[in-house]
Amino acid sequence: MRQNKTATPEAIYNLVPEAPAWRIDWETIWSLFPEFSALDTCPQDPVHHAEGDAGTHTRMVVEALVEMDEWCDLSPRDRSVVFWAACFHDIGKPDTTKHEEYGRITSRGHSRRGAAMTRGLLRNLGVDFFWREEICAIILKHQLPFWLIERPAPERTAIEISLACRADLLCLHAHADARGRICKDQQDTLDNVALARQLFVDMGCLEEAFNFANDESRLGFLEADSRDPFYIAHEDFRCCAYVMSALPGSGKDTWIARNLPDIPMVSLDRVRAEIGIDATQNQGRVIQAAYELARTHLRAKRDFVWNATNITQQTRGKIIRLLRNYNAKIHIIYLEVLPETLLQQNVTRTATVPTDIIEKLTWKLEPPQNTECHVLTNVVSHEINCRQCN
């Protein structure tokens, strides 16, 4: 995936329509990313999208959004977040669209695929990290307001959604998404979105994340379906485990040396060197040895750092389950540097990672969320210091 070289952060920000004309420059938007062109030949299910291809739908959604007073009244930053979320929301459809029986067309998984694609494209441009992640969160969750009230536990789902993104902006996008299509059940869908918005209001999490009593109450709620969100969990941690998360070459070792110099470390690179296994070989023995070393620290109730890339939620989840079993406080530190800085730093590493491997990892990247840990520190520059666990 390669974007047009004329695409810059400034170009992206400046393309958001402004008063009084609120004009959408479709020609420029479509020229910035070749992925948009693929939407114009991507078919959609005629039952839900009688308007035709995904490109037509995308333009209809964005145009519906820009016509809404609620969008126009947002702050410039929030307007830009929802605008680009609408532009990118179905970018994953060409990769996930399948023709099924009786002329039906599906695109299961396009939300997750679209969020990953958008993150990669915008990351390569060097746009603001937090702005980018707000866009990706809306893309990932963009279908949920359509069905929220029909779910078995809608209140619980509403709380979970609020931890991932601004529910008011998500519902605003969903309203435009429902209007930007031709289907027989359009009004029913709009009614569902309105009911979803009211549910967020009722749960007190429309414009901000649900307010849990403490960090353990939040993690406990997410782990147990029967947990009352208002339950006040007891916090008495045996130790603090710092879990690093970053692409190779982001500066994890340097950051640890500056911020956590006196804390023991479980390093997969160090374990590989001790065992004599290359990073391209089977990592079973490396992982087993690292886990056993971590258990040694956990049994001793000793703070330690887990130093590895941990760039996907699945990989972090395995570590987090171990830490939860030992009642450790989990503090994830995520590092991200500009793409050109990443490549420069990778060259100076003792064990340089091939550029093509870093490229593949970039498109798999899933920055950690506060749904995974007690404390999350996003380090988007080396000047940000770690707040120690007490």
User: Which domains occur in the chain, in start order?
Assistant: 9-202 (1.10.3210), 239-379 (3.40.50.300)
pLDDT at 381: 67
The pLDDT tens digits for 342-360 are 888 888 777 788 888 888 8
Q: What backbone torsions phi and psi does residue 282 show, to the nearest 5 degrees? A: -60, 130
303 contacts 389 by C-beta, under 8 angstroms: yes
pLDDT score at 4: 52
The low-confidence residues of the chain, meaning pLDDT below 50, are 1-3, 382-390
Here the tokens at position 277 are 């296994």
Q: What is the pLDDT of residue 272?
A: 87
242 close to 374: Cβ distance less than 8 angstroms:
no
332: closest CA among 253, 263, 240? 240
SS3 label, residue 340 = helix
Do 311 and 249 meet the contact criterion of CB atoms below 8 Å apart?
no
pLDDT at 385: 37
Cβ partners under 8 Å of residue 55, min gap 6: 36, 37, 39, 40, 41, 42
Nearest to 106 by CA among 193, 47, 149: 47
**Which residues fall within 8 angstroms of residue 256, CB to CB, at 6 or more apart?**
244, 263, 265, 305, 307
Length of the chain: 390
Q: Rounded distance, CA 262 to CA 130, Å?
A: 30
- HSE, side-chain direction, 13 A CA sphere, residue 390: 1
Question: What type of residue sits at position 325?
Answer: N
Residue 386 DSSP symbol: P
CA distance 148 to 154: 6
Per-residue CA distances from 266 to 291, 292, 322, 325, 361 (Å): 8, 10, 14, 18, 22
Residue 269: the pLDDT is: 86
pLDDT for position 2 = 47
**Token reading at 382:** 């080396």
Q: Check residue 389 and give its pLDDT.
A: 41
- Write down the residue that tokens 């901000």 correspond to: 208
d(CA 111, CA 140): 5
